[in-house]
C-alpha cells in the first residue's frame, strides 16, 4: 500500500500550501522537499529512512520551522511542528504499528486546519482527506481492494456523519474551559492606523468582511439611505497616517435605544477586535463592548467568524467641548501641507459658521474637476494632501476624507476620521446584507458647538453614486474595479451565469456560517426550547444518546438480518422441497435427497426427476434456472403440499 | 505484518498454555475460556465473541478527546464535529467488526503430527455465510500469527507449528480480527484438548547404518533379501494404513481396485528390535537415530519392535505401528 503512504504525504503538503495556513515560505519549501523525497523513495520502492538521518532532519526542520513561522505565533508553530513530525514519521515508518499511529494522529493533524479557516471548502477538503486516511487504515491489511475499502469507508463515514450531526445539534454545548492563544491570520481588512492613500488597496480584495441580518427593513431602507458601518475612529494625524484613537478600546456606558429593532452581524475573522455597527450602537452579546464613540469591539481578536447582536444606542450629544479635547481634535503637524492650511484659513475668513465653511469646501471639490478613482496617482512628497488638492485631483475615499478632515482642522474645527464600510450587497432570497473588503470606506466626523458631532462624507460630492449600494454596483468604476480584482467571480458579474453562480455560492456560504459555524449555546438553547419546550431542553443530551443508541441498534439488527448471503433461486426451491419430506434431508446429497422424495411422493415421480434435472443443470453444468423452470418447481412444491393436506 | 498488539488486549495476555498460566485473574479467565470454547469446532456468535477497542482504538479515543477539548476552547463547531465523528466511527466499527466475525464456523479438520522440520500442522476449516475480512489466528506456540485476508464462504487454513520434539497439547487458539480500520479487536477462542506430536527428525550416520545392517545379518533376525527380487505371492485388498508403495497400480488402472502386493516368504520373516539403551549419544540424538531406524524399517516393510527405557512396543508393522512408534519417540 505504498501509494497510500504517498497520498498521506500529499495531504500534508496540501494542508501546508492551502492559503488559509501561513507558515512562511521556508516551511512550505521544506515540506515540498520532504514530499519530493518521499516521492522518489516510493518510485525507487525504498522503504524507511535511517533513524539517524530522520533525527538530523528533525532538528534542522524544527529550526527552520521556528524561523519561518516565528516563535510568537504559538498556534501556527504548533500546527507546523505537528505537520513536520507526521511527515518525518511517514518517511521513517516501516511497520503496520507505526502506520496505525500515523493514521490515528492524522485525525488531529488534518483537522487542525479548522483553527485557521472553517469555510465550507476547507471543511469539504478536510473531510475528504480524513476519508482517504480511513481508506488507508482499512488497507493496512494487505489484499484489501481499493474499491472495497473506498465503498466501505464511504458508507461508514456517511452513517457516522449523520449521527455526529445529531450529537452536534443536541449535545449541550459547554463553554470554553480556558483561554487559548488564537492563530494569527493573514487577513486583509481595516487597519488601525489608516494611511489615507492605502485604503484603496482594500478595493482589490473581494473577501467578505461581514454579513448583517436586518430584520426591520425600515431601519435600512433600500436605496435611499446609505449604510455607514462604523468600525474604527482615528483622531491623530501624524502627517502620513491617521492613528487610531486611544479611546477606541475603552468601554463606555451608552443606553440602548429600544425603539429601533436589533439586528445581527456575522463578522468574518479579521484578526482585530473591532466590530461593525450602523451609527452609535451597543450590544447585548457576551464579550462585546462599546466605546465612547459608540462603536463596538470584542475583548479579544476575532480569529473565526463571530456573530453578535447590535442594538442602536441613544447618542449622548455633546454640546460643548473642553479646551483640552478641542486642542486635541484640531492638532495638525504644522509644517506639512502649507497650501492646504492656507486655503482653509482663507475659507475660514470667508465663512461665518461651520456650515458655510463646508459649503465652500464642497464648492471647491465639485468645481475643480476632482475625480473618484481606484487608481489614484501615488506621491512620494511630504505634502501629499497639497499635491492631491492642487495637482492630481484624483483619489479614493481615503484621499477625500483625509483632506477634508485636515482642512477642517486647519480652520480650527474639531474633526476626526472614521473608517468602516459603506454600502452592502443585498441578498433578496435570504434577506441579508453582505459587505466585502472592497466596500471599505473612510469619512469624516466634525464637531459643531451646541449641536455635537456630525457626519460628513466628502466622497459624496465627487461620486454621489457610491453612497448607494456596494462598490461592485458602481457603474462608472466598473472597469477599474474589475481590473483591480483580477481573477475573481465578482469581476465577471457581467455574465449572468457567473453572477448567478457567485450569488448562490455566497448564499451557501452564508447558510454555512450562520447555521454551522455560529451554532452556539444561545442558538442551541432557542432551538431546543422550540423543539422540546422549556422542560424538555435539559434532557436533550440524554435524549440524543438514547436516539443514537436506538439508531445503532436498528442498524445492528438490520445488518445482521441481511448478513446471510442470498442463495440462488434453485437452491431455495430445493430447500423448500426437502423441507416437505418426513426425514431430515438437509445433510444428504441432492441426488439421494431427491430419490428419498421420489419414494415418499411416488405420484410426483416425473416432476421430481424433472426438477432434479433442472437443479443439476444449474448447479453442475452452468445452465441457468429460468422462469419456466422456476414455475415448474413452484408447481411441484404446491402440488405436494396440497396432497399432503388431504 | 500485523497486529502484534492483538494478543495484549485485556487480560487475555499471551501467558502461555492456560494450564501453565500464572496469576489468579488470568487463571480465572483461562478456566472460563476452557469451559466455554472447548471442542473441535465453534460457531462465533454473541456469547463467544469478545469486542473491545484495540490499542489503536484507544489512541483514536484519545485523539477524539483532544479534538473535543480544542473544539470547546476555540468554540469551533467543526473541530467538535470531528471529535463526534471519530467516536461514532468507533461505535460503527464495533458493530461492523462484530458482524464480520458473527456466524463464522471454525472446525478443526485435521491435526497433522509430523517431524519437527516438516512441520506439524493443524488445519482449520473456516466457513461463513457472508464474507469474513482480515482474520488472524494466534497461538502461544506460534511465533507469528497466521493472517487470513478474507474468507468467502469456505476456506481451509493451514497452521504450521515450529515445535520442539514432543507431545504438545494444542490448547487455546485465538481468532482475532481488527477488521474495520483496525480500531477494534474482535476475538474468540477455540480450546482443543487434543495433542499434536512433533516427531524427532531422523538422524542418519554410518554407525547407525551399520547397526541396521548388523541387525539384518544377525541370526536372531532371519533375513531374506529384499522383496523386490521376490516372487509375488498374492494380492490382498488395500486397507488404510498400508504401505502406498506396494499398491498394484496396474490393477488399479484396469479394475479401479486398490490391491496390495504380498511377496513370498515375507510375512513375519524378519523382526527387528530397536533399543534406546543400545544407542550412542545424548537423549535427542538417540531418539533421532531411533526415528531413522523406524522409518527405514517401515520403508522396507519390516516388522520391528521398539524399546524405550521401560516401555516396550511389541513388534508389528504398517502405518499405524509406525505412528505409534513415532508418537512414543516424541513423548519420551
| HEC per residue, A164-231 | HHHHHHHCCCCCCCCCCCCCCCCCCCCCCCECCCCHHHHHHCCCEEEEEECCCHHHCCCCCCCCEEEE
Global pTM reads 0.73
Q: What would the mean pLDDT of B190-197 be, rounded to a whole number?
A: 86
Contact of A160 with chain B, judged by CB distance below 8 Å, is answered with yes
Q: Which residues of A touch B148 (CB under 8 A)?
A: none
B80 to chain A, closest Cα gap in Å: 7
Which of A89, A108, A145 to substitute to test the interface with B, most B CBs within 10 Å? A108
Contacts of A62 (CB under 8 A, 6+ apart): A81, A84
pLDDT over 90, % of chain B: 11
A398 and A199 Cβ atoms separated by less than 8 Å: yes
Domain check: are B310 and B176 in the same one? no
Buried-exposed string A123-140: b where 16+ CB fall within 10 A, e elsewhere: bebbbebbebbbbbbbbb
Q: Which residue has the higher pLDDT, B8 or A142?
A: A142
pLDDT at A129 over 80: yes
Give chain A positions within 8 Å (CB) of B69. Answer: 177
The C-alpha atoms of residue A315 and residue A620 are separated, in whole angstroms, by 94
Residues of chain B in contact with residue A177, where contact means CB-CB under 8 angstroms, are: 69, 72-73
Q: Residue B319: is its pLDDT beyond 60?
A: yes
- B273: its cell numbers: 528390535
Which of B8, B60, B182 is the best residue to mutate to test the A interface, defined by the most A CB atoms within 10 Å of its own CB? Answer: B182
Q: What are the CA-CA distances from residue B77 to residues A165, A198, A209, A616 (Å)?
A: 10, 36, 21, 61
Q: Is B152 exposed, middle or buried (0-12, 13-18, 19+ CB in 10 A)?
A: exposed
Query: What integer pLDDT is reported at residue B173 of this predicted model?
Result: 87
Residue A271 CB contacts under 8 Å (≥ 6 apart), including other chains: A184, A185, A187, A189, A301, A302, A303
Q: What are phi and psi of B82, to 5 degrees?
A: -65, -40
Q: How far is residue B162's CA from residue B160's CA, in Å, rounded to a whole number?
A: 7
DSSP 3-state percent helix, strand, coil across chain A (nearest 5): 55, 15, 35
Q: Is the pLDDT of residue A367 over 90?
A: no
- Quick check: B4 and A107 CB within 8 A? no
| Option in A112, A168, A520 nearest B84 (CB) | A168
HSE-up (13 A, CA, CB side) for residue A273? 17
A145 touches chain B (CB under 8 A): no
- Type and span of the H or E element at A32: helix A25-43
pLDDT of residue A158: 92
Confidence bin at B161 (pLDDT 50/70/90): confident
Quick check: A537 pLDDT over 80? no
Domain range for residue B238? 226-266
- Is pLDDT above 60 for B210? no
Residues A563, B76: C-beta atoms closer than 8 Å: no
pLDDT tens profile A249-277: 888 888 888 888 888 898 888 888 889 98
Residue A168 near chain B (CB below 8 Å): yes
Where is average pLDDT lowest: A177-186, A378-387, A415-424, A575-584?
A177-186
> Is there a contact between A442 and A395 (Cβ–Cβ < 8 Å)?
no
Report pLDDT digits (tens) over A67-94: 888 888 888 899 999 999 999 999 888 8
Phi, psi of B292 (to 5 degrees): -60, -45
pLDDT score recorded for residue B269: 53
- The nearest alpha carbon in chain B to A171 belongs to B84
Whether the pLDDT of residue B218 is over 60: the answer is no
**H or E element that contains A39:** helix A25-43
pLDDT at position B168 over 60: yes
Rounded mean pLDDT, B27-36: 82
Q: pLDDT at residue B12 above 50?
A: no
pLDDT surpassing 90 at residue B146: no
DSSP-derived 3-state class of residue B54: coil
Q: Is the separation of the CB atoms in B227 and B267 below 8 Å?
A: no
Contact B180 A138 (CB under 8 A): yes
Cell representation of residue A33? 522537499
Same domain? For B150 and B131 the reply is yes
Q: Round to whole Å and give the CA distance between B54 and B285.
A: 46
Which A positions 424-463 lie with beta carbon below 8 A of chain B?
A: none
Whether the pLDDT of residue A130 is over 90: the answer is: yes
Q: Are A314 and A256 in contact (CB under 8 A)?
A: yes
Nearest CA-CA distance, residue B321 and chain A, Å:
35
Asked if B133 and B86 touch (Cβ cutoff 8 Å), the reply is no
What DSSP letter does each residue of A388-418 carry, written as one string?
A: IIIII-EE-HHHHHHHHHHHHHHTT--EEEE
Rg of chain B, C-alpha, whole Å: 28
- In this structure, what C-alpha cell is assigned to residue A492? 465577471
Residues B282, B286: Cα–Cα separation, whole Å: 6
Query: Which pLDDT belongs to residue A185?
Result: 62
Once rounded to an integer, what is the mean pLDDT over residues A234-250?
84
- A427 to chain B, closest Cα gap in Å: 25
Give mean pLDDT, residues A392-421: 86
Instruction: Report how many Cβ contacts below 8 Å link chain A to chain B.
Output: 150
| Helix, strand, coil shares, percent, chain B, to 5 | 35, 30, 30
* Per-residue pLDDT at B305 exceeds 50: yes
Which candidate, A309, A316, A299, places its Cα nearest to that of A255? Answer: A316
- Distance (Å, rounded) from C-alpha A529 to C-alpha A536? 7
User: b vs e for A456-484, b when ≥16 Cβ sit within 10 Å of the residue's Cβ?
Assistant: bbbbbbbbeebbbbbbbbbeebeeebbeb
Query: What is the rounded distance in angstroms from the CA atom of residue A326 to the CA atom of residue A408?
Result: 13
Minimum-distance CB partner of A141 among B66, B89, B134? B134
A562 vs A73, residue with greater confidence: A73
**Rounded mean pLDDT, A313-329:** 81
The mean of the pLDDT values for chain A is 82
CA end-to-end span of chain A, whole Å?
A: 65
**Predicted pLDDT of residue B229:** 43
Closest CA of chain A from B191, distance in Å = 26
Please give the mean pLDDT across all residues of chain B.
77
B67/B126 same-domain check: yes
pLDDT at B264: 55
Chain B contact present for A524, CB below 8 A: no
Mean pLDDT value of segment B213-219: 47
- Whether pLDDT at B3 is above 60: no
Residue A558: list chain B partners with CB under 8 A.
none
Q: Does A141 touch chain B (CB under 8 A)?
A: yes
Residues B21 and B140 in one domain: yes
Q: Are strands A306-312 and A371-372 parallel, antiparallel or unpaired?
A: unpaired
Strands of the sheet with A432-436, listed across from one edge: A281-282, A306-312, A263-267, A208-213, A432-436, A425-427
Which chain A residues contact residue B75 at CB under 8 A? Answer: 176, 304, 520
8 Å CB contact between B91 and B130: no
pLDDT of residue A485: 63
> Residue A430 has what pLDDT?
76
Residue from B84, B131, B135, B151 whose CB has the most chain A CBs within 10 Å, to mutate: B84
Q: What is the pLDDT of residue B84?
A: 94
Task: Flag if A114 and B182 touch (Cβ within 8 Å).
Answer: no
**Number of Cβ within a 10 Å radius of residue B129:** 14
Q: Predicted confidence band at A1 (pLDDT cuts at 50, 70, 90)?
A: low
Instruction: Return the minimum-mean-pLDDT range out of A114-118, A574-578, A631-635, B189-193.
Output: A574-578
When pLDDT is cut at 50, 70 and 90, the band that residue B217 belongs to is very low
For chain B, the domain total comes to 3
| pLDDT over 90 (residue B308) | no
Q: How confident is the model at residue B13 (pLDDT cuts 50, 70, 90)?
A: very low
Between CA A568 and CA A623 the distance in angstroms is: 13
Residue A15 exposed, middle or buried by CB count within 10 Å (0-12, 13-18, 19+): buried
Cβ-based burial of A626 (10 A; exposed 0-12, middle 13-18, buried ≥19): exposed
Instruction: Provide Rg for chain A, Cα atoms.
Output: 36
Is residue B7 over pLDDT 50? no
Digit-coded pLDDT (tens) for B50-66: 999 999 999 999 999 99
Q: DSSP secondary-structure letter at A515?
A: I
Is the pLDDT reported for residue A369 higher than 90? no
Q: Where are the alpha helices (DSSP H) in B149-259?
A: 206-217, 249-255
Confidence (pLDDT) at B312: 81
pLDDT (tens digit per residue) in A475-530? 666 666 766 665 566 666 667 788 788 778 888 888 888 788 878 777 888 888 88
- Do A168 and B81 count as a contact with CB atoms less than 8 A apart? yes
Mean pLDDT calculated for residue range A161-169:
89
pLDDT at A35: 93
Q: How far apart are CA B135 and CA B97, in angstroms?
A: 11
Q: How confident is the model at residue B42 (pLDDT cuts 50, 70, 90)?
A: confident
pLDDT at A171: 83
pLDDT, tens digit (0-9, with 9 covering 90-100), for A302-319: 887 888 988 888 877 777
Q: Which residues of chain B neighbour A561 with C-beta distances below 8 Å? A: none
Q: CA–CA separation, A250 vs A273, rounded Å? A: 12
CB contact under 8 A, A552 and B149: no
Residue B242 reports pLDDT greater than 80: no
User: β-strand B166-177 against B154-160: which pairing, if any?
Assistant: unpaired
Query: Phi, psi at residue A441, to the nearest 5°?
Result: -150, 160
The contacts of residue B156 (CB under 8 Å, 6+ apart) are: B109, B123, B124, B125, B126
Which of B78, B88, B182 is nearest residue A163 as measured by Cβ atoms?
A: B88
Q: How far does Cα A60 stand from its chain's mean position?
A: 34
Contact A550, A558 (CB under 8 A): no
Amino acid at each position: 500500500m505504498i501509494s497510500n503512504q504517498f497520498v498521506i504525504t500529499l495531504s500534508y503538503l496540501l494542508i501546508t500550501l492551502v492559503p488559509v495556513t501561513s507558515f512562511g515560505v521556508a516551511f512550505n519549501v521544506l515540506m515540498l522537499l520532504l514530499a519530493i523525497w518521499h516521492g522518489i523513495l516510493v518510485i525507487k520502492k525504498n522503504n524507511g529512512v535511517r533513524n539517524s538521518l530522520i533525527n538530523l532532519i528533525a532538528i534542522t526542520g524544527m529550526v527552520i520551522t521556528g524561523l519561518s513561522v516565528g516563535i510568537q505565533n504559538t498556534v501556527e508553530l504548533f500546527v507546523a511542528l505537528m505537520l513536520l513530525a507526521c511527515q518525518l514519521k511517514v518517511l521513517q515508518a516501516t511497520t503496520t504499528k507505526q502506520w496505525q499511529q500515523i493514521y490515528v494522529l492524522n485525525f488531529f493533524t488534518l483537522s487542525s486546519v479548522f483553527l485557521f479557516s472553517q469555510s465550507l471548502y476547507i471543511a469539504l477538503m478536510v473531510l475528504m482527506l480524513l476519508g482517504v486516511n480511513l481508506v488507508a487504515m482499512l488497507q493496512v491489511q494487505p489484499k484489501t481492494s481499493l474499491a472495497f475499502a473506498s465503498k466501505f469507508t464511504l458508507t461508514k463515514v456517511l452513517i457516522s456523519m449523520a449521527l455526529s450531526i445529531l450529537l452536534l445539534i443536541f449535545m449541550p454545548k459547554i463553554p470554553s474551559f480556558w483561554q487559548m492563544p488564537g492563530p494569527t491570520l493573514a487577513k486583509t481588512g481595516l487597519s488601525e492606523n489608516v494611511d489615507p492613500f492605502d485604503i484603496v488597496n482594500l478595493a482589490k480584495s473581494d473577501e467578505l468582511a461581514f454579513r448583517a441580518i436586518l430584520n426591520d427593513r425600515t431601519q435600512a431602507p433600500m436605496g435611499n439611505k446609505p449604510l455607514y458601518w462604523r468600525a474604527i475612529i482615528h483622531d491623530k494625524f501624524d502627517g502620513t497616517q491617521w492613528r487610531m484613537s486611544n479611546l477606541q478600546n475603552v468601554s463606555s456606558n451608552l443606553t440602548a435605544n429600544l425603539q429601533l429593532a436589533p439586528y445581527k452581524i456575522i463578522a468574518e475573522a479579521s484578526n482585530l477586535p473591532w466590530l461593525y455597527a450602523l451609527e452609535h450602537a451597543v450590544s447585548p452579546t457576551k464579550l462585546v463592548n462599546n466605546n465612547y464613540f459608540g462603536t463596538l469591539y470584542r475583548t479579544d481578536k476575532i480569529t473565526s467568524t463571530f456573530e453578535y447582536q447590535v442594538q442602536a444606542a441613544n447618542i449622548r450629544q455633546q454640546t460643548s467641548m473642553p479646551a483640552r479635547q478641542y486642542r486635541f481634535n484640531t492638532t495638525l503637524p504644522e509644517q506639512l501641507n502649507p497650501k492646504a492650511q492656507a486655503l482653509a484659513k482663507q475659507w475660514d475668513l470667508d465663512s461665518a459658521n461651520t456650515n458655510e465653511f463646508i459649503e465652500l469646501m464642497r464648492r471647491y471639490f465639485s468645481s475643480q474637476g476632482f475625480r473618484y478613482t481606484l487608481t489614484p496617482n501615488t506621491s512620494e512628497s511630504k505634502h501629499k494632501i497639497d499635491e492631491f488638492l492642487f495637482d492630481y485631483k484624483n483619489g479614493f475615499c481615503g484621499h477625500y476624507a483625509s483632506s477634508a478632515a485636515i482642512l477642517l482642522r486647519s480652520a480650527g474645527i474639531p474633526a476626526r476620521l472614521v473608517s468602516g464600510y459603506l454600502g452592502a450587497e443585498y441578498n433578496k432570497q435570504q434577506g441579508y446584507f453582505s459587505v466585502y473588503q472592497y466596500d471599505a470606506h473612510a469619512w469624516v466626523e466634525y464637531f459643531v458647538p451646541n449641536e455635537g458631532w456630525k457626519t460628513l462624507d466628502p466622497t459624496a460630492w465627487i461620486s454621489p453614486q457610491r453612497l448607494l449600494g456596494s462598490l461592485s454596483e458602481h457603474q462608472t468604476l466598473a472597469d477599474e474595479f474589475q481590473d483591480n480584482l483580477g481573477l475573481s467571480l465578482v469581476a465577471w458579474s457581467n455574465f449572468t451565469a457567473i453572477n448567478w453562480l457567485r450569488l448562490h455560492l455566497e448564499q451557501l456560504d452564508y447558510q454555512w456560517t450562520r447555521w454551522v459555524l455560529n451554532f452556539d449555546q444561545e442558538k442551541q438553547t432557542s432551538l431546543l426550547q422550540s423543539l422540546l419546550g422549556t422542560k424538555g431542553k435539559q434532557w436533550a443530551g440524554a435524549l440524543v444518546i438514547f436516539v443514537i443508541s436506538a439508531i445503532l441498534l436498528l442498524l445492528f439488527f438490520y445488518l445482521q438480518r441481511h448478513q446471510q448471503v442470498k442463495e440462488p433461486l434453485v437452491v431455495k426451491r430445493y430447500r423448500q422441497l426437502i423441507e416437505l419430506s418426513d426425514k431430515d434431508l438437509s445433510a444428504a446429497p441432492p441426488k439421494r435427497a431427491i430419490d428419498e422424495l421420489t419414494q415418499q411422493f411416488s405420484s410426483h415421480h416425473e416432476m421430481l426427476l424433472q426438477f432434479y434435472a433442472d437443479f443439476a443443470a444449474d448447479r453442475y453444468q452452468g445452465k441457468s434456472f429460468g422462469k419456466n423452470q422456476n414455475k415448474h418447481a413452484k408447481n411441484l412444491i404446491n402440488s405436494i403440499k396440497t396432497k399432503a393436506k388431504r | 505484518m500485523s497486529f502484534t498488539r492483538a494478543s495484549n488486549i485485556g487480560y487475555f495476555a499471551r501467558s502461555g498454555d492456560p494450564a501453565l498460566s500464572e496469576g489468579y485473574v488470568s487463571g480465572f479467565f483461562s478456566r472460563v475460556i476452557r469451559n466455554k470454547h472447548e471442542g473441535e469446532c465453534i460457531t462465533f456468535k454473541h456469547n463467544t465473541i469478545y469486542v473491545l477497542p484495540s490499542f489503536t482504538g484507544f489512541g483514536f479515543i484519545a485523539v477524539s478527546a483532544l479534538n473535543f477539548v480544542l473544539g470547546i476552547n476555540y468554540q469551533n463547531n467543526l473541530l467538535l464535529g470531528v471529535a463526534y465523528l471519530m467516536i461514532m466511527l468507533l461505535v460503527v466499527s464495533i458493530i461492523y467488526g462484530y458482524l464480520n466475525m458473527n456466524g463464522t464456523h471454525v472446525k478443526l479438520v485435521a491435526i497433522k503430527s509430523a517431524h519437527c522440520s516438516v512441520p506439524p500442522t493443524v488445519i482449520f476449516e473456516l466457513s461463513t455465510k457472508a464474507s469474513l475480512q482480515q482474520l488472524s489466528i494466534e497461538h502461544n506456540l506460534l511465533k507469528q500469527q497466521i493472517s487470513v485476508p478474507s474468507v468467502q464462504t469456505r476456506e481451509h487454513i493451514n497452521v504450521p507449528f515450529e515445535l520442539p520434539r514432543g507431545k504438545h497439547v494444542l490448547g487455546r487458539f485465538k481468532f482475532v480480527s481488527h477488521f474495520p480500520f483496525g480500531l477494534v479487536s474482535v476475538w474468540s477462542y477455540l480450546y482443543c484438548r487434543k495433542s499434536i506430536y512433533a516427531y524427532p527428525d531422523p538422524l542418519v550416520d554410518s554407525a547407525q547404518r551399520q547397526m541396521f545392517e548388523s541387525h539384518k545379518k544377525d541370526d536372531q533376525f532371519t533375513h531374506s533379501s529384499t522383496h523386490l527380487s521376490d516372487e509375488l505371492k498374492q494380492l490382498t485388498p488395500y486397507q488404510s494404513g498400508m504401505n502406498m508403495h506396494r499398491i498394484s497400480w496396474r490393477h488399479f488402472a484396469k479394475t479401479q481396485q486398490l490391491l496390495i502386493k504380498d511377496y513370498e516368504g515375507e510375512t513375519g520373516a524378519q523382526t527387528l528390535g530397536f533399543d534406546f539403551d543400545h544407542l550412542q549419544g545424548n537423549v535427542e540424538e538417540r531418539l533421532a537415530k531411533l526415528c531413522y531406524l523406524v522409518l527405514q524399517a517401515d520403508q522396507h516393510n519390516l516388522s520391528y519392535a521398539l524399546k524405550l527405557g521401560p516401555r516396550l512396543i511389541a513388534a508389528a508393522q504398517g502405518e499405524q505401528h509406525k505412528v505409534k512408534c513415532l508418537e512414543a519417540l516424541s513423548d519420551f
